[in-house]
Structure 1
Amino acid sequence: MKTTGNTVFISGGSAGIGLAIAKKLQAAGNKIIINGRNEERLQKALAELKDAVGIQGDLSVEADRLRIAEELKTNHSDVNVIINNAGAAFSYLLSETKNAHEKALIEMNTNYIAVIHFTELLLPHLLQKDAAAVINVSSMAVYGSIKLLPTYGATKAALHSYTVALRMTYEEQKNIQIYEVYPPLVNTEFSAEIGGGNGIPPSEVADELFIALEKDQFDVPVGETKKYAAAIQEAMSKLNA
């Protein structure tokens, strides 16, 4: 995948991993469009990005997904890369809550259903481009549950399954590539409740994604996640031997 001259839309791009990716890709000569739910935070992020475009909205809401997709196709028709980064997570103990199902519903809608729908809305547009990409930001939680995030991991596992199927669906069409990024614990406000201060900087995720784009490496484990990915690859090699 070329790493310059793209027009990139990043959901959840006003902070954390999304903003770090926006800065990295802009520095490489790409046009950046970021999305965020909070207008004030979005404007603050835009002040850190020269000539970037901001689109406020909550992609977990269907009406906003439809509006944002239409705005991209109409006003930013050169967009050829979408990065599905926006997410939701609740930190709690199953023994101390009676509304886990409600939290799980919000997480599943934001981390999985919304991504499928938004990607579906943009795919016909992307498939018309000479070179396009869908990049889904999942998590190390794909590889196992976490006590303090009891329902989050399942949503990222679902996103992983969808991403693999999407990649398989379009693997014969050389003009579109499907990537998945697996961050470990990252030091962002998003992860503050679960000890995010001990995590890697979001810039490390952005750096790893950039390297993967250069190499057409569709699975992008980051930091500690590389150990899990390597173990699975070794196990699969033994099975296929």
Structure 2
Amino acid sequence: MKTTGNTVFISGGSAGIGLAIAKKLHAEGNIIIINGRNEERLQNALKELAGATAIQGDLSLESDRLRITEELKTNHPGLNIIINNAGAAFAYLLNETRNAHEKAAAEMNTNYFSIIHFTELLLPHLLQKAEAAVINISSISVFGSHKMLPTYGATKAALHSYTVALRQTYEEQENIRIYEVYPPLVNTEFSAEIGGANGIPPSEVADELLAALEKNQFDVPVGDAKKFFSQKPS
């Protein structure tokens, strides 16, 4: 699909992978709208994105999803790409906690349920566009869990399953495309607890996404995640 002239909403766009993607698409000549929970961080991010817009809100809350959806449709009618990037992860060991179910519920709400709802709210708008896309930022964790993130991987596996079904649902409609990005460990504040300093730079994820958009490559493995796709039978 085209990589310039789009209006793009990026959740979790004030830092990390989201901000790297925002910068890359901004440099390509797209209108950028970033979202995050912290207003100060959003304003700092905007200093690196001249002319971009920020919408503060927590997409894990239904009331904020509804509010942000209406704001996007009213104030940004050209919106044709949403990037579901905001996520939650808890690093802990199952034998050292008594509230794994609470952590899992919070992760599942942010990484899965809220994405389904937010996408559902905006799909009627996106389907009216000549060219549109839903881009879900998944994870290498789709392919296997880690003891330090015992419930996070399951949420990303659920998101993957939903993304595949969404793609199949709209595969005959040429005006909308469904992408999934699989980052490995990335050096961000989000991953600091699990050794993120050893990960790839977030700009690498942004570069891979842009290249995939240009080629209409709907699965976008990054870094170490590529080995799982190279093992797939042709």
* TM class, shorter-length: over 0.9
**Counterpart in the other structure of 2:216:** 216
Task: Note the 1:45-64 alignment, pairs <5 A.
Answer: 45-64=45-64
* Letter in structure 1 aligned against 2:86: A
Task: Note the 1:166-181 alignment, pairs <5 A.
Answer: 166-181=166-181
Aligned length: 234
Percent identity for Structure 1 against Structure 2: 80
CA distance in 2: counterparts of 1:222 and 1:35, whole angstroms: 23
**Counterpart in the other structure of 2:78:** 78
For structure 2, the 5+ residue unaligned runs are none
**Counterpart in the other structure of 1:132:** 132
1:161 to 2:161 alignment: yes
Q: Which 4+ runs in 1 deviate beyond 4 A?
A: none
CA distance in 1: counterparts of 2:145 and 2:54, whole angstroms: 34
State the superposition RMSD in angstroms.
0.4
**Counterpart in the other structure of 2:27:** 27
For structure 1, the 5+ residue unaligned runs are none
Q: CA offset at residue 13 of structure 1?
A: 0.2
CA distance in 1: counterparts of 2:201 and 2:142, whole angstroms: 20
For each residue in 1:147-200, what CA deviation from the matched residue of structure 2 results, as whole angstroms up to 9, or x when unmatched? Answer: 100000000000000000000000000000000000000000000000000000
Secondary structure of the residue aligned to 1:112 is helix
For each residue in 1:196-220, what CA deviation from the matched residue of structure 2 results, as whole angstroms up to 9, or x when unmatched? Answer: 0000000000000000000000000
**Counterpart in the other structure of 1:65:** 65
**Counterpart in the other structure of 2:40:** 40
Q: CA offset at residue 229 of structure 1?
A: 1.6
CA distance in 2: counterparts of 1:141 and 1:230, whole angstroms: 16
Q: CA offset at residue 230 of structure 1?
A: 1.2
TM-score normalised to the size of structure 1? Answer: 0.97
CA distance in 1: counterparts of 2:227 and 2:40, whole angstroms: 38
TM-score normalised to the size of structure 2? Answer: 0.99
Q: CA offset at residue 118 of structure 1?
A: 0.1
**Counterpart in the other structure of 1:204:** 204
Secondary structure of the residue aligned to 1:51 is coil
Task: Note the 1:85-124 alignment, pairs <5 A.
Answer: 85-124=85-124
CA distance in 2: counterparts of 1:229 and 1:64, whole angstroms: 36
Q: CA offset at residue 52 of structure 1?
A: 0.3
CA distance in 2: counterparts of 1:187 and 1:151, whole angstroms: 21
* Letter in structure 2 aligned against 1:50: A
